[in-house]
Structure 1
């Protein structure tokens, strides 16, 4: 079955439940501090919108398990999130998932996995080496952003962050097991891309004077992994839609970032 034949394929429905403890653990995992009481204290809790992505992680995993691509070589290339309404402090959400577009990059394919609910729409873009060449459309190219003169904000990661974040549901071994990380081509366990993106979003929100729970849209491409304990620098260009990217040392880790609050 060619990669292009997966376009439009339903991936099923699922009801997911969570409580205040899960939402608080998530906030701590992506970098919220003890002083951020409306993110980590149940009496004042606002749920970070990016928490939704942990609830929907089953969808791209389901596509991989059905044999659409080689799960040992495919990587999470980009993420988009549109917030339709705030997440409740606890409860159940009904999610529907499908394969959207499948882009032919020649030597690889990119599968867009779309998850919808009453509260959000999220899209994973999965880059699958060896699955291209099926004669489909190439799709959009990565945007080239000029962020010269943008403001900078530092974002710290911590040594146990990947081990903590995986408790939210993404338990791929490469984020905690050195042998699995080396098998994936990395020298040691690395941070989940969605954890990196959420941590940077917290920093960007602080830089532009927004509350991170007021996030409305978010998008970014994953350029390289981040290792727990590394310090990131995000360049932030505020506007109606804030643009950003992030580096650690001389390594670019997030490109084409866009976020809005309101």
Structure 2
């Protein structure tokens, strides 16, 4: 049987597959562009000015985007229908202001949700460990485990309710950091997926939330030590969703809510410079 005639792998057969190693280089201006794209302000000099520059930890996710793309290009899931379901990241060490990062990627768990499969793509480096959860409609029903229940918000009232103000130009700027999918810039592409206009990148929205949280907590955004969240609904550039947060002993729980509906749900973040309650 020729390679082109081989039987396609079932979703569960992707578990543990090595997706390769890649070294990605960047310059100071790339880290600064990223900071501006996720909402850093001109007065936050150590994020937007090369003097005493600190790199936002979530910048690493743009360097590692090749990993879920690699799984899609290998046929793990249908790239035209798959959705970025959730994201988590643990920070090991600060990113240098410029240089190269070597990353190794693999497929983690593959969960069977019945009508869909969820592929976990894990990326490891000396600076961070990050996991993408890719929701793949039509790939479920293979008899695998359903996986853990969704993380939910705390039952008590939020410790704080703030507003996350996004820019009308935010997706146009953020796509220059690497994710140039047309749904974030082209009205026709957005309409094709049932959206009235281009939508925000999930990772941009998640990172912007961590900046707002850091300001509220009095922490430095570059001191982020971990973050996770589930992408529940689209957000549009220029929107100003509510940022609900709950102070906990081991960090901060948060949700981003637009018109009463969660945009980012069941999220958690920790900062080295803030110890929680």
TM over 0.5: yes
Pairwise TM-score range, normalised by the shorter structure: over 0.9
- Extract unaligned runs of 5+ from structure 2: 1-8, 273-277
Aligned pairs (5 A) from 1:102-181: 102-145=110-153, 146-181=155-190
Match of 1:37 among 28, 45, 49: 45
Q: CA deviation at 1:250?
A: 2.2
Q: CA RMSD for the aligned pairs?
A: 0.9
Report which stretch shifted further, 181-190 or 100-109. Answer: 181-190
Runs of 4+ in 1 over 6 A off after TM superposition: none
Q: Who is 2:10 aligned against?
A: 2
Give the number of aligned pairs: 262
- Extract unaligned runs of 5+ from structure 1: none
Q: Deviations over 1:117-155 (max 9, x none)?
A: 000000000000000001111101112222513211211
Q: Who is 1:259 aligned against?
A: 269
TM-score normalised per structure 1:
0.98
Q: Indicate conservation of the 8 Å contact 2:158/2:245, yes or no.
A: no
User: Which structure has the larger Rg over C-alpha atoms?
Assistant: 2
The answer to whether structure 1 residue 244 and structure 2 residue 254 are counterparts is yes
Separation of aligned partners in 2, 1:19 and 1:242: 31
Q: Who is 2:67 aligned against?
A: 59
Q: Deviations over 1:4-40 (max 9, x none)?
A: 1111111111110001000000000000000000100
Q: Deviations over 1:73-117 (max 9, x none)?
A: 110000000000000000001011110000000000000000000
Separation of aligned partners in 2, 1:188 and 1:43: 38
Match of 2:225 among 199, 216, 223: 216
The answer to whether structure 1 residue 27 and structure 2 residue 31 are counterparts is no
SS at match of 1:156: coil
SS at match of 2:58: helix
Separation of aligned partners in 2, 1:248 and 1:67: 34
Separation of aligned partners in 1, 2:84 and 2:17: 19
Q: Who is 2:243 aligned against?
A: 234
Separation of aligned partners in 2, 1:250 and 1:179: 27
